[in-house]
Chains A and B, each alone.
Chain A
Amino acid sequence: MRQRTRVMVLVGGVVLCSALAASCATVQPWERRELANPCMVFDASAAQAAYDAHWQSAREGSAGGFGFQGGGCGCK
C-alpha cells in the first residue's frame, strides 16, 4: 500500500515537472513585483525556517525535504 502511494507520488512529480517544463512562463523583470514580495519567497526568513525545522525534526520521525538538516543535537 505504501509502495503504491510512493509510486503515485513519484509519477505525480514527473507529471508536474512535465507540466512545469511545458508552461515555462517568461516573466519579465518589470513584471516581478508580486514575485519579489517576501510572502512569495521560499524561506524568506531562513533563520526562522531553520529553527522550525530543527524543533520539528527533533520530535518527529521525518526530516528534510525543505532544505538542509545540518548537524544533530541530543534533544532529550
Chain B
Amino acid sequence: MQVRQRRGRSARVGTSLGLIGLLAVLALVAVTGLDWAQSTLYVQLHSFGDTRGVTVLSPLVDLEKDFSDRTGLRVKFGVDAVTAASDACARCHPQGAQDRRTYADFALLRKLGSARLELGGEISRENFYASESVTASLSRDFNRGNTTIAGAYSFSLNNPELHPSRNVEQQISHDASIALTQTLSKTTIVQLSYDFNRISGYQSSPFLRTSVNGQMVLGVVPDLRNRQAVSVRVRQALHAGTYLQADFRHYFDSWSVGSNTLSLGASHYFSPVWLVGFSYRWYDQTGAFFYQPEYFGTPEYFTADYRLAPFSSGLYTGRVVYTPEDGLFGLPKGTALEFQYDRYVGSNQFQAAVFSGGLRIPF
C-alpha cells in the first residue's frame, strides 16, 4: 500500500514537472515565433550558502514580451537545486540530502486605456512540498501619469508532505495589496503600500523538533495567521548620475511577530557603461507569542522555528551593471551583464552569502 502511494506520488510529481517544463517550452516557442513589439530575455544564476550548511544553486530564465502596445506576456522558469545539509536534515541524513524545487511563473498583461490588468499564476514543485498560485492585479494612472494606484490579489494552495510519513497537509493563503505611487518632482518619486495576508491550515514544519519537558517533538503552531505590512519607498535622483533609494516596512501579525525593515542605498553611473550600487538593509523582529527556546509543562503551542524567535540582522549588498554601448558577445545593443553580492548577518549567529549573475538581452 505504502509502495503504491509512493509510486503514485512519484508519478504525480513527475507529471507535474513534465507539465511545467512543457508549458515553459511552449510559451518560449510561442513568444519567440511571433513578431513582438518589444521583448527582454533575462537569464540569471544565483548561488546561496549559509552557516546552517544549506547551499542553493538557482538558475532562472525570465522572458518579457509585448504582443502590441496593449498586450504582453511574461514567462519565468527556474530551478532551486538545494543541498539541504541543515540541522533538520542532518539528523536523518548525515551526508546531507539533495532537493530540487522547480517552478514556472506566467502572466498576461493587458492595457485598458490608462489602466493595466495582469493575470498570472505560478506552479512550484519540490520534494515534500507542492504549491500553486493565481494572481490578478489592476493598476491605473491618474494626473497625467504622475499618480498610479494599484491593487492586487493572490491565492495560493500549498501542500506540504509530512516527511518521512506520506501524509499530505494543506495550507491556503490569500494575499491582497494596494499601492499608491506618486511623482513628487522631476527627480523624486514615492510609493506607499499596504499588504494583508491570511494563511490558514498546516503551518508547522515536519523537519524541526523542539524540547518539551526534555523530549524532542515536532512543533505545533496555530492554524491561522493574519499578516499585515505597510511600506514607504522613495527614489531620488541627484546630479551627475547618482540615485538614492530608501525603503521602510512595518510588519505585524496575529502571532505577535512584529518587525521593522529599513533599507538605504545609492547607485552611481561612473560612465554610461558602468553602474555601481550599494545598499544596507536593517531588520529587527520580535518573537511569536508562543516562542521559547525550550518548553515545560503542557504548552498549547511549541516550535523550534528560528524564524519565530526575536532577532535582528543586517544585509550588505553590492551591485555592478555593465552595459557596453555596442552590445555584448554579438548580442543586441542594450545587452547588460549584472552582478550582485549579498552578505546577510543575523544576531542569531545565522549568516548567509548570495552571489547573483545575470545577462539581460533586449531583442
Contacts and interface: CB of A to CB of B under 8 A. Distances in A.
Q: Name A's interface SS.
A: loop
Given A42-B181, A42-B191, A70-B122, A34 B356 contact: no
A2 B255 CA distance: 13
Contact of B76 (A2, A25, A47, A56): A47
Given A71-B122, A73-B126, A74-B126, A39 B235 contact: yes
Q: Name B's interface SS.
A: strand
Given A31-B186, A72-B158, A74-B207, 5 more contacts: A27-B183, A42-B235, A47-B42, A48-B358, A74-B101
A64 B126 contact: no
Interface in A48-76: 48, 51-52, 55-56, 59-74, 76
Contact of A65 (B56, B182, B249, B313): B249
B180 interface: yes
Interface of B: 42, 44, 46, 48, 50, 54, 56, 58, 60, 62, 76, 80, 82, 84, 86, 88-89, 99, 101, 103, 105, 122-124, 126-129, 131-133, 135, 143-147, 152, 154, 156, 158, 160, 171, 173, 175, 177, 180-187, 189-193, 195, 197, 205, 207, 227, 229-233, 235, 237, 243, 245, 247, 249-253, 257-259, 261, 267, 275, 277, 283, 285-288, 307-308, 313, 315, 338, 340, 342, 344, 350, 352, 354, 356, 358
A17 B180 contact: yes
B146 A61 contact: no
B25 to A, nearest CB: 19
B186 A32 contact: yes
Contacts of A64: 175, 177, 195, 197, 227, 229, 251
A37 B180 contact: no
Contacts, number: 207
B175 A29 contact: no
A72 B133 CA distance: 9
A62 B197 CA distance: 11
Contacts of B182: 20, 23-24
A61 B350 contact: no
B259 A70 contact: no
B285 A60 contact: yes
